[in-house]
Amino acid sequence: MTAVDARPETTTDLRFPAGFRWGTATAAYQIEGAAAEDGRTPSIWDTFSRAPGKVRNGDTGDIAADHYHRMREDVALMKQLGVTDYRFSVAWPRVQPTGRGPAVQKGLDFYRRLTDELLEAGIRPVATLYHWDLPQELEDAGGWPQRETAQRFGEYAGIMADALGDRVKTWTTLNEPWCAAFLGYGSGVHAPGRTSASASLRAAHHFNLAHGWAAQTLQATLPSTSEISLTLNLHAVRPLTDSEGDRDAARRIDAVGNRIFLDPVFHGRLPEDLVHDTATVTDWAFVQDGDLDSISTPIDSLGINYYSPTVVGAGSSDSPSPWAGAEQHVRFLPAPGPRTAMDWPVDADGLHELLIRLRDDLPGVPLVITENGAAYDDYADPSGAVHDPERVAYLRSHLAAVHRAIEDGADVRGYFLWSLLDNFEWAYGYSKRFGIVHVDFATQRRTFKDSARWYADVIARGGLTG
């Protein structure tokens, strides 16, 4: 190997703390399939994916990666990788089809079997209660802009705690409520496809309330040793320049992208600047007495999903926009550097910046990277191998950024790579591959990519080397 080929010294022998959690993650609608089996009814993503033009190539999650039938095979793959933890989500319409009333036992039994299989393999199960698959019947009744949906979610949390609380010790209430609220109800590019700025803000508040009520239910039901968390896709926001206009644009995006969740959950308050920014959209009258007390119920850790930074400047954005109250004041600009197949910039420094901000803003709150990864145009070569050097480089740089943040005092307890499997990538259908395991969707054949073997080596070593 020539000197030019040598790997950067910054990733040489970077050991992570003892007990660091090495995981991988998936989401129910993206991998399970079996969309109409054993009592499962449609979610908003079943409905949305059938609407013409909403999902690339008309793809749906009807079969996905067929994990519902291949669960044991997939757990065996995780065991081969050596992961310590597996973060999965529960499909709400699989266990409570209408979002109300008693559970369907066959649905619960699937998650019981999954949990038992993971524990048998020596893997800690990490359950996410909501990864965007709202029962369609609740959407028909008004969806997340309605307060009742948050109430129903709290009841659903109790069902799952009763079913799995003796075996699952780590629980996440919501995954990326920003996407669910603002892409689903603001810009309409995600299910249920509504385009209303006011509805997106109501939905965001009710997601916060659902989180708080679910956290209270979990605390009342689960053993005291259980861990309760929330996962946010926080934005690493950078102003294009140091001008007043660009800095104000970054402030606005930080308010509606980050602090709309962080401030209620961890400080029991609404950001004053957000309320001012959105005054022409809503008067926030849907926030009732006691809501912020419920939302700020103490939790045990914060999950962070990070893929790329956000660069903004003064200007305006297209409508309909997911950025309620900011679209007339903010324009989004491309960040420099290489890009993934999603056309997202590769910038691990953004992850470090985010972790240091949280170190300073939320002292004493343990952090977990609950999603990080990249999509590339992977394919199996004639020998059946799948080479993905770009993904390996992406993961290496981001793990190095996590290590640097830990050295700088951030209390990061684990890293969950997104994703275990190639899957249904929401509005992109099956056109984008995030997995470290290649899935041939025609045959459902699983193949370790080079990145999977690389990650297995990282786990075995407890860090990066070479």
Asked if the model's pLDDT at residue 149 lies above 80, the reply is yes
Q: How do residues 304-316 score in pLDDT, each as one tens digit?
A: 999 999 999 999 9
In the chain, % of residues over pLDDT 90: 96
Asked if the model's pLDDT at residue 281 lies above 90, the reply is yes
Instruction: Identify the active-site residue in 353, 371, 390, 425.
Output: 371
Instruction: Identify the active-site residue in 117, 139, 176, 327.
Output: 176
Average pLDDT over residues 241-247: 98
Predicted pLDDT of residue 318: 86
- Residue 80, phi then psi, degrees to nearest 5: -60, -40
Predicted pLDDT of residue 4: 29
Q: Residue 319: which pLDDT band, with cuts at 50, 70 and 90? A: confident
Q: Residue 7: which pLDDT band, with cuts at 50, 70 and 90? A: very low
Q: How do residues 180-231 score in pLDDT, each as one tens digit?
A: 999 999 999 999 999 999 999 999 999 999 999 999 999 999 999 999 999 9
Q: Residue 11: which pLDDT band, with cuts at 50, 70 and 90? A: very low
Active site residue 425: no
Active site residue 371: yes
Confidence (pTM): 0.96
Q: How do residues 415-442 score in pLDDT, each as one tens digit?
A: 999 999 999 999 999 999 999 999 999 9
Q: Residue 446: which pLDDT band, with cuts at 50, 70 and 90? A: very high
Q: How do residues 93-115 score in pLDDT, each as one tens digit?
A: 999 999 999 999 999 999 999 99
